[in-house]
DNA sequence: CTGAAAGCGCTAACAC
DNA sequence: GTGTTAGCGCTTTCAG
């Protein structure tokens, strides 16, 4: 047997150091070699027992399993990954775990990953594109099978180029960059994607408002530089246009996707006396802020003002009245994201030219926050400035 | 200069195969060897350049960095971890990412991990202790520097023993199991912990209710088998006892930590005509459900009924009236969890006997959901069964 | 400051 | 069925 080929190991150590460690916090973890020795078999057999991918005599197997148990053996996933098998990891990058929009998608990703016997690396960028890039790199270093990028992206040229570079690197290594809820990087870039009908949802809900008789609709929130916000605004405008309602720049009030923005801006607008009968908040969070401002100003929903949101996260049902909004299949998107990445080029190379994009639908959920504008009701004055 | 010492590389390839792979999806990732070759240095130098942990001539460094860039080199974290350095990973196990209670803690863990230049493995057990155990194992395989177990644990003997075994295994390997918001496993078990004053918070808020004049307080929700729920109920009982209020079993209605439970059970209780003037929901989610039931039954908060919760998650502020509740330093707990794990025995072995437990405080946040009971107001009838 | 070489722990041919 | 033996890609003494 060829062990001890050098003068370095195993034995108590000639000079008193070299083999320290048995004293304090950790007596060297057991390895396949230890297990093999104890069970009187080769390391190959131990490996076979663990992976159950090869016939092993029942008796042998038992001996090996006993040895593993007795030694408290735990495989080293890194060694395993190094030796060739996949790291069985999928990475997910969101801007904020606290935000239900991301949390639901993350849940889908985590569940699908777990179902596929993989672990999930999760990172939060806190909205910083630079961190996003850095995290992709980190996950690449970890050799994640897929890296899921969630949510709207900044519309920046240099940033996109950088992203494309990372996507190519990942692809070259057999991993996939998944764009979940954000636009593709272009045909040349090897990514897969899962989108939802963002523009369509916005169109539908604005149309819903118009159908109820609203013409002066305030569009509130959504960072102008974010793809998500851009698409929602686009859908909103299209609905207006289709119905022949002239666009009014004053009624477009983009801003952060935050409750604070919704509250603050709405308060200001109310004070300034801007005229409108309905509000389309770019997402439910903004709507929650707006609702609070409205409440404090004594404006009743939906009597004096209609309000709708986007995303259909839980807060939509906690608001009073319950919020009419656009539902996105958040969790499903997460699941599909990993599915599409793992089947899109791994083995079943079934005509997925590296850039497969899945598109899921959205639909509006009608609750109690919309009514016909007062002004169209016979005999009532419009709730204008005063 | 010693470049091209082997016959293997760079050139077009003498025999046409041997260097396969340049065609399909991945031309073999570049390795240190490739970089070293291209830069005309040894792999040791490349390593030194990457880790900046050793002096390297500026010129050499530049050549190496250029080579890395040109080759699109990305270190292999597994090889690195195998070679001895830590995996720079912390694991976190929660029951549900969607639940703000867990999400906030997870955020703390993620941020602290990121600040310490580590990545975060996240798993959801969906409340299944068996999965929890399995995930700990998987994270151990990944050689996570710490594994953070979040939230209440089931009070099961066999389960705890199993957990203790895992804790010892981890510890033997130099990792730490962190109990975040759950009781210690006993002195013999090498874990670290971060708790919050669960019982104290419950005591304080029940006392708050009593101080307002309430005597018949319904305790609603909280799975009897969960440590979290047990402690909250204990605090509640202690407050009652201290004030000399007799315990009434009918007023203790444990159950799931869910909105659905809060809604359903409250609806039933109202229908049955149970008498009480205030509700202490075991957490804010349950409180939200209860609030809805109350609303639908035409019971006004806090006029006809006072309501308090626990956790102080965002929904507490979305409810109308805003919910009086107990605040837990959720995110801080997450941060401390990784801090305590990473400093409790890593290098600064400053008297942390493997079992250090940090205890953070809680405090009540008074909002608008509590008032004196109608029955104590002069001249008004109690809102009893009818 | 730089190079050579010995592993880290596991898997996967390839023998027997 | 089971053993042998190369590596996987990186870090790290130990020598220059």
Pairing of strands B363-365, B325-327: antiparallel
Please give the sequence-ordered ranges of beta strands (E in DSSP) within chain A, or none if there are none: 89-94, 119-124, 146-150, 176-180, 191-196, 217-220, 252-253, 278-281, 306-308, 325-327, 357-360, 363-365
Per-residue pLDDT, B354: 55
Q: Which residues from chain B sit within 8 angstroms of residue A97, using beta carbons? A: 97, 103, 106-107, 110
Pairing of strands B119-124, B146-150: unpaired
Which tens digits make up the pLDDT trace of B270-319? 999 999 999 999 999 999 999 999 999 999 999 999 999 999 999 999 88
B348 pLDDT more than 90: no
Sheet holding B306-308, edge to edge: B252-253, B217-220, B278-281, B306-308
Per-residue pLDDT, A383: 47
Per-residue pLDDT, B59: 93
B20 pLDDT tier (thresholds 50, 70, 90): very low
DSSP tag of A308: E
With a CB cutoff of 8 Å and minimum separation 6, the contacts of B58 are: none
Per-residue pLDDT, B194: 96
**Nearest residue to D2 via alpha carbon and C1':** A45
Contact yes or no for A97 and B106 at CB 8 A? yes
Q: Look at residues B190, B144, B186, B172 and name the one whose alpha carbon lies nearest to residue A24.
A: B172
Per-residue pLDDT, A12: 35
The C1' atom of C2 and the CA atom of B56 lie apart, in whole Å, by 9
Phi (first) and psi of residue B73, to 5 degrees: -70, 135
Q: Look at residues A105, A99, A230 and name the one whose alpha carbon lies nearest to residue A156.
A: A230
- Count of beta carbons in the 10 Å neighbourhood of residue B129: 18
Pairing of strands B357-360, A357-360: unpaired
A344 pLDDT tier (thresholds 50, 70, 90): low
Contact yes or no for A174 and B26 at CB 8 A? yes
Asked if A263 and A292 count as a contact pair (C-beta separation under 8 A), the reply is yes
Asked if A46 and A35 count as a contact pair (C-beta separation under 8 A), the reply is yes
Does the nearest atom of strand D lie within 7 Å of A49's Cβ? no
Asked if B354 and B168 count as a contact pair (C-beta separation under 8 A), the reply is no
- Average pLDDT along chain A: 88
A25 pLDDT tier (thresholds 50, 70, 90): very low
B100 in contact with chain A, both atoms CB, cutoff 8 A: yes
A144 in contact with chain B, both atoms CB, cutoff 8 A: no
CB within 8 Å of chain A, chain B residues 58-77: 72, 74-77
Phi (first) and psi of residue B202, to 5 degrees: -65, -40
Q: What is the sign of the dihedral through the CA atoms of B7, B9, B15 and B21? A: positive
B334 in contact with chain A, both atoms CB, cutoff 8 A: no
Q: What is the sign of the dihedral through the CA atoms of B328, B329, B335 and B336? A: negative
Q: Look at residues A259, A94, A112 and name the one whose alpha carbon lies nearest to residue A182.
A: A94
Does the nearest atom of strand C lie within 7 Å of B37's Cβ? no
B124 in contact with chain A, both atoms CB, cutoff 8 A: yes
Asked if A106 and B41 count as a contact pair (C-beta separation under 8 A), the reply is no
Nucleotide showing the shortest C1' distance to residue A55 CA: D1
Q: Look at residues A128, A109, A124 and name the one whose alpha carbon lies nearest to residue B107.
A: A124
A136 pLDDT more than 50: yes
Cis peptide before B98 (omega within 30 of 0): no
Which of A16-30, B199-213, B242-256, B352-366 shows the lowest per-residue confidence on average (mean pLDDT)?
Answer: A16-30
Cα–Cα distance measured from residue B305 to residue B369, given in angstroms and rounded to the nearest whole number: 8
Of the ranges A141-145, A156-160, B371-375, the best mean pLDDT one: A141-145
pTM over cut 0.85: yes
Protein-nucleic contacts, chain B 73-92 to strand D, CB < 7 Å: 73, 75-76, 79-80, 82-85
- The residue among A68, A119, A139, A162 with the most chain B CBs within 10 A of its CB, best to mutate, is A119
- Average pLDDT along chain B: 88
Region B138-165 average pLDDT: 94
Which tens digits make up the pLDDT trace of B3-16? 333 333 333 333 33
Region B127-142 average pLDDT: 96
B69 burial (CB, 10 Å; 0-12 / 13-18 / 19+) is exposed
Pairing of strands B252-253, B217-220: parallel
With a CB cutoff of 8 Å and minimum separation 6, the contacts of A303 are: A371, A374
Q: What is the largest CA-CA distance in chain B?
A: 103
Per-residue pLDDT, B155: 86
Task: Find the residue in B nearest to A344 (Cα).
Answer: B25
Strand, helix or coil at A21? coil
Asked if A313 and A104 count as a contact pair (C-beta separation under 8 A), the reply is yes
Cα–Cα distance measured from residue B279 to residue B245, given in angstroms and rounded to the nearest whole number: 15
Cα–Cα distance measured from residue A114 to residue A111, given in angstroms and rounded to the nearest whole number: 5
Task: Find the residue in A nearest to B24 (Cα).
Answer: A172
Task: Find the residue in A nearest to B79 (Cα).
Answer: A82
Which tens digits make up the pLDDT trace of A192-231? 999 999 999 999 999 999 999 999 999 999 999 899 999 9
Region A176-199 average pLDDT: 94
Higher pLDDT, A153 or B242: B242
Does the nearest atom of strand C lie within 7 Å of A6's Cβ? yes
Q: Which residues from chain A sit within 8 angstroms of residue B97, using beta carbons? A: 97, 103, 106-107, 110
B154 pLDDT more than 50: yes
B104 in contact with chain A, both atoms CB, cutoff 8 A: yes
Per-residue pLDDT, B318: 85
């Amino acid at each position: 047997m060829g062990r001890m080929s050098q003068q370095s190991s195993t034995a108590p150590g000639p000079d008193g150091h070299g083999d320290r460690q048995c004293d304090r916090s950790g007596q060297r973890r057991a390895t396949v070699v230890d297990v093999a020795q104890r069970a009187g078999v080769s390391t190959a057999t131990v490996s076979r027992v663990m992976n159950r991918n090869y016939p092993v005599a029942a008796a042998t197997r038992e001996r090996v399993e006993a040895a593993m148990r007795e030694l408290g053996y735990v495989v080293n996933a890194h060694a395993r990954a190094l030796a060739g098998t996949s790291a069985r990891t999928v990475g997910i990058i969101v801007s904020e775990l606290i935000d239900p929009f991301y949390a639901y998608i993350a849940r889908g990703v985590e569940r699908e990953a777990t179902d596929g016997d993989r672990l999930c690396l999760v990172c939060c960028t806190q909205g910083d594109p630079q961190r996003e890039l850095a995290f992709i790199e980190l996950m690449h270093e970890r050799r994640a099978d897929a890296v899921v990028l969630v949510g709207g992206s900044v519309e920046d040229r240099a940033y996109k180029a950088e992203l494309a570079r990372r996507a190519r690197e990942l692809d070259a290594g057999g991993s996939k960059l998944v764009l979940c809820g954000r636009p593709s990087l272009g045909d040349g870039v090897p990514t897969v994607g899962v989108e939802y009908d963002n523009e369509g949802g916005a169109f539908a809900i604005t149309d819903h408002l118009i159908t109820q008789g609203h013409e002066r609709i305030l569009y509130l929130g959504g960072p102008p530089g974010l793809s998500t916000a851009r698409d929602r605004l686009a859908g909103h405008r299209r609905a207006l246009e289709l119905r022949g309602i002239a666009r009014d720049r004053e009624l477009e009030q983009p801003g952060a996707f935050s409750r604070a923005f919704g509250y603050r801006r709405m308060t200001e607008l109310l004070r300034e006396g801007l005229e409108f009968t309905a509000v389309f908040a770019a997402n439910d969070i903004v709507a929650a802020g707006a609702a609070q401002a409205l409440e404090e100003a004594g404006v009743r929903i939906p009597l004096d003002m209609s309000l709708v949101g986007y995303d259909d996260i839980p807060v939509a049902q906690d608001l009073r009245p319950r919020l009419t909004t656009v539902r996105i299949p958040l969790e499903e998107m997460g699941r599909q994201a990993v599915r599409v990445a793992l089947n899109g080029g791994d083995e079943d190379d079934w005509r997925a030219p590296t850039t497969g994009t899945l598109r899921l639908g959205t639909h509006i959920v009608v609750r109690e926050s919309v009514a016909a504008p007062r002004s169209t009701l016979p005999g009532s004055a419009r709730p204008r400035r005063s």
